[in-house]
Every structure is written in C-alpha cells, then in structure tokens.
C-alpha cells in the first residue's frame, strides 16, 4: 500500500520564514475578525439548523465515489488494453497522423506503446484542440477526422508528435488495467467541452460551464453561480463530502463557499481512510488530488509534467481503502479524466446534435462557441461489486438517439441512482447517456472482488520533483482561488510569481484558514447561507505589503510579488 503523507499547511520541505509567519497571521487574525463582524454584520446571522436529517437511499448503491484525473486521452492511457480484451475500442498500432495535414507526402507518425514521463505539457487550448480534431480551422467535417494531433504537436516542438502519438503499455498503468479487467471500462466517454480543465470540471459537477470555454481567470475566481449536483443531493436529504489534498478546486463554485458547505470538506490524509473504515463515507464522495508537485508529496493528478506512477498509486490507495470498507457492497467508484490534455485519440468526437446546456455561448477573442460539440474521448472506469467482471460499456442507449456519455452523464446518473427529487441541472444532463445499467445486471454483489490492487511497477520520472519550476496555468488559478478565499484579491490582476513549493504552502495554509474561519462563523451563530469571510487586509497592510505576497529579494529586503 502506498504511503500518503499527512502534512500540515507547509509540509516538510523547509519553507521560508515568510510562509510560517503567513500561517501565524492567518490563524491568529480570525478571532478578532469575527468578533468585529458580529458587531458590523448582525443581519448576516441566523438560527438555521446546521444539521440535516439523512434520507434513506433505495436500491443497491448507497455511496458513489468520484475521482477526476487530469489531462490524458483514452488511447494514451488505456488504448493498448485492446491487446488484453479485443472488445475494447482501443488501438492496434496502425493509427497515424501526418506531420502536415495538407501535404499528402508528409511524414506519417504512427501510434506507439512507448509512452513515458511527459514534459512539457502538450497543447490543449480551445484553438489547439480544434486543430487536433479537424486538422484546420474548418470544423464542418462529420465525422471528425482526428488527424491534427501530430501537426499541432510539431508546431510546439520538432519531434514532439511522437510524444502525443503514444500510449502506455497495460503493465505500466497496472491499477487501471486491473480495474478494467475486474470491473467495467467505458470506451465512449467524452469530455464535455473541446477545451481545457475548468470548463470540463464544471460539467462534471453542474452539467454546464456557465458560458466559459476556457480558464478565464477573473470569472473563475469570482466563483460560478450555477446549481450543482451537490445542491441537488442536499435538497433530497442526502449527504456529500469533498476529500481534498492541496486545495479543493470545487471551491470555484459560489455555493460551496457558503457556511453550510464547510462541514463537507475533509482533509484526505486525515479523514478518508478513517471514514471508510468506520463506514461513515457520505452518499456522494468527490476526491481531489495533489495538484502541486513537491518532494515530500509529489502530485498525483496525472497532469503533465506529473508522473502517472503517482496517479496509479493514488488509485490503488483509494481502491484498497474502499474495498476494505464495510460500505463496499453498496458502493460505486467512478474514475474519469477532465480532458485529453493534447494526447491522440482515434475515436471521432461527436460534433452534431449536442445540446447547448443553458443557452449561453462562449467567447475567446474572435472565436464564438455554442457548446454544441463535445471534446476528445477520455478514460473512464466503473468499479463496484455489482458489476460483472470484464464489462465493456460502449455507447449509451438513450435518452435520445444522439445521446453520448460525457461528463454530464455523472450528475444525470447520480440523479437516477439516488432518485433525487430535483430536476435535471441543465439541458445537457437531461440529454446525456446514463450508466446505471452497469450495476443492474446482478441480483447480488460479487464475492470475488480483489482485496487489493497490484502496486505500480516503478516511477517514470528519474529525478525528484522540481519545486522551483514555474506554475502551470491551472496551478496559478488555484493560487488565485486561495487568495480570494482569504481576502487577498490584490493578486487578481497580476501574474503569480511563486514557485511550485511556495504555491503549495500558500494554498494549503489558505484553505485551512478558510475552513477554520467558516467553522468559527458557525459557532458564532452566522447564517449558514452566508459566505465564509476572512478579512486580514488591515493586519497585513501594517507590514507595508500583503503578507505572503511579499518575499525576500536577492538583496535581503522585501520584494512585492504584485
């Protein structure tokens, strides 16, 4: 079993004096802030009960666990499983792209089984994905040709096409291989949007991105107002829990920043295994990974340039924990990926008869998008003792002749399995295919499920994480989210000049302070429908800068990161 490190806000990585001072400021500023708030905002408090009665779930599945990994395509992660089960719509090695789509004499790059540690990150912006799917700006082709992956990769770096046209051998991704052979693999699950991380993660939880087709920073930080599956679960008297490691990206939703949601966030290392062992996992569980790559606790989200070995360790740890839980016989575990991350996939993405979820269009510069086609296919696995061994799930049977499995299928299926009383979230989850039939083939749970998964073979990366490297776009967004949570909005209009190690320490400290603040507000009698508030600006201004947003310069003084 892998060892997951249990660490405080700064881990064990020799953080700077400013980081430790920052944590002290966040902790000790809370009491004064809220005592003052009692005098300033009396109308914000009420006597709404914090506890709710739990409804009994009918049917065999009482707990659904969801793990959303980062930025890998189906063919890249699972395509070579076709060697083990020919029914899987995987790869044969005869798939290829030309270096130049428009030159019939240009070199062909064939799909290979030599996938390894990936650095840098392949292209996966809206524009890059359009080129990967269609080979040009013309998006009229149906079916989509899926012929521009090599061309787009070569535009980034000569020879990079071999990296994106590669897949892992089954023994390298042993956790996934075992789950696919023992339970169910879905070989026609697509990202909801042909774009980057956050829009797709929004569909997983709310069946819409609220008009966002890229990671628009200001909109992300201000928070998104749409209804989520978490709201629907609560409305039906059921429970949910979010088990996070660095920072819960689900806090991009406004409703999850309210006091009523504080009780639903749990530190993964401290609570997940204990809750599972005690049979106390809630009805709906979302697991969030480590998004920052540091030596003491390497990132395990699979986002390049993170090692998929760590992701496989996480999957093994989660499965082994769930399998040992007394709740196992009433459980469904779903693993998917937010988007394909720029890696090749041969299955044409659906480009027709996909409904816009809420009538909102997206815009990136001159580009306009109506959310009427899906993204690239991504790996998806279903795990439960109610699933027959070696199941392969292809396309859905409905609810329309054009319906597909995509991220909105998750809230749509949760609604069906739990018989949620509220309606669909949007037109998209009303349209999306559902997968409850995968657990309906049996009259009783299996008794032959493996108790543990095999350990992954070896790390693919040959050196330790580079803690001093610059942040990815996604990591910058998480840092700015953390700043918003604790009232340091000055960071919004500027780049985040932090290393990975500094950012990791910052977000962990900020989240801890945010949740502590929320708990204190509840204890002081705040209305649970109000937002968590952490106000430290006046304290930090006394230092002439913004707390951790200042650091030592090479001259030994203070240098603002603004």
Q: Any idea where the domains of the chain sit in the sequence?
A: 17-44+466-560, 63-439
What torsion do the CA atoms of 320, 322, 325, 328 make, to the nearest 10 degrees? -120
Q: Between β-strands 380-383 and 184-186, what pairing exists: parallel, antiparallel or unpaired? A: antiparallel
Full DSSP string of 488-545: -GGGGGS-----HHHHHHHHHHHHHHHHHHHHHHHHTTB-TTSBP----HHHHHTTTS
- Detail the DSSP E strand segments found in 103-244: 108-110, 184-186, 189-190, 240-244
Instruction: For the chain of 562 residues, list the mean pLDDT of each consecutive stretch of 10.
Output: 33 39 47 42 36 71 99 99 99 98 98 96 96 96 98 98 98 98 99 96 98 77 92 98 98 96 98 99 99 98 97 99 99 99 99 98 88 98 99 98 99 98 98 98 98 96 95 91 87 76 97 95 94 62 41 33 28
d(CA 325, CA 321): 6
Token pair listed for 333? 């575990």
CA distance 346 to 334: 23
At residue 473, the pLDDT reads 87
Q: What is the pLDDT of residue 41?
A: 43
Q: What fold does the segment set 63-439 form as a domain? A: Alkaline Phosphatase, subunit A (3.40.720)
H or E element at residue 551: strand 550-552
- With CA atoms as reference, report the closest residue to 500 among 475, 467, 474, 472: 467
Q: Which pLDDT belongs to residue 535?
A: 72
Q: Which residue has the tokens 């396309």?
A: 395
- Enter the DSSP assignment of 483: H
């Amino acid at each position: 079993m892998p060892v997951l490190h249990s660490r405080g806000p700064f881990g064990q990585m020799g953080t700077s004096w400013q980081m430790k001072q920052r944590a002290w400021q966040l902790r000790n500023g809370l009491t004064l802030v809220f005592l003052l708030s009692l005098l300033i905002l009396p109308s914000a408090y009420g006597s709404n009960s914090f506890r709710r009665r739990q409804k009994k779930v009918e049917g065999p599945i009482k707990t659904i666990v969801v793990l959303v990994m980062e930025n890998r395509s189906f063919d890249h992660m699972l395509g070579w499983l076709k060697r083990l089960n020919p029914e899987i719509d995987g790869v044969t090695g005869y798939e290829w792209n030309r270096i130049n789509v428009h030159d019939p004499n240009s070199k062909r790059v064939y799909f290979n089984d030599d996938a390894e540690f990936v650095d840098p990150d392949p292209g996966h912006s809206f524009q890059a994905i359009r080129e990967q799917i269609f080979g040009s700006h013309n998006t009229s082709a149906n079916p989509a040709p899926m012929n521009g992956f090599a061309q787009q990769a070569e535009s980034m770096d000569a020879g990079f096409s071999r990296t994106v046209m590669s897949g892992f051998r089954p023994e390298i991704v042993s956790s996934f291989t075992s789950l696919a052979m023992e339970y169910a693999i879905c070989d026609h699950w697509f990202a909801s949007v042909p774009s980057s991380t956050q829009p797709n993660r929004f569909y997983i939880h709310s069946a819409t991105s609220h008009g966002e087709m890229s990671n628009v920073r200001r909109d992300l930080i201000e928070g998104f107002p749409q209804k989520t599956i978490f709201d629907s679960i609560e409305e039906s008297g059921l429970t949910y829990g979010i088990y996070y490691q660095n920072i819960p990206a689900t806090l991009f939703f406004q409703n999850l920043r309210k006091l009523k949601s504080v009780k639903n966030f749990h530190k993964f290392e401290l609570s997940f295994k204990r809750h599972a062992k005690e049979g106390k996992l809630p009805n709906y569980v979302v697991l969030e990974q480590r998004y920052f790559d540091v030596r003491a606790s390497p990132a395990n989200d699979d986002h390049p340039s993170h090692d998929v070995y760590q992701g496989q360790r996480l999957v093994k740890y989660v499965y082994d924990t769930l399998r040992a839980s007394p709740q196992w016989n009433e459980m469904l575990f779903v693993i998917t990926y937010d988007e394909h991350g720029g890696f090749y996939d041969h299955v044409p993405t659906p480009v027709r008869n996909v409904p816009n979820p809420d009538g909102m269009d997206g815009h990136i510069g001159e580009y306009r998008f109506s959310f009427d086609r899906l993204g690239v296919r991504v790996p998806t696995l279903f795990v439960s003792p109610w699933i027959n061994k070696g199941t392969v799930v292809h396309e859905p049977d409905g609810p329309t002749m054009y319906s597909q499995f995509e991220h909105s299928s998750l809230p749509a299926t949760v609604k069906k399995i739990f018989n949620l009383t509220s309606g669909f979230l949007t037109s998209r989850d009303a349209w999306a295919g559902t997968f409850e039939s995968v657990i309906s083939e049996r009259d009783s749970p299996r008794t032959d499920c493996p108790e543990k998964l095999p350990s992954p073979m070896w790390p693919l990366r040959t050196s330790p994480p580079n803690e001093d490297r610059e942040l990815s776009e996604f990591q910058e967004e998480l840092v700015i989210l953390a700043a918003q949570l604790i009232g340091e909005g000055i960071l919004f209009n500027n780049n985040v000049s932090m290393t990975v190690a500094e950012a990791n320490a910052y977000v962990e400290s900020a989240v801890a302070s945010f949740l502590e603040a929320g708990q204190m507000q509840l204890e002081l009698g705040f209305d649970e429908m109000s937002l968590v508030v952490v106000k430290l600006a006046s304290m930090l201004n006394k230092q002439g800068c913004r707390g951790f947003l200042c650091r030592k310069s090479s001259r030994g003084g203070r240098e603002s990161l603004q």
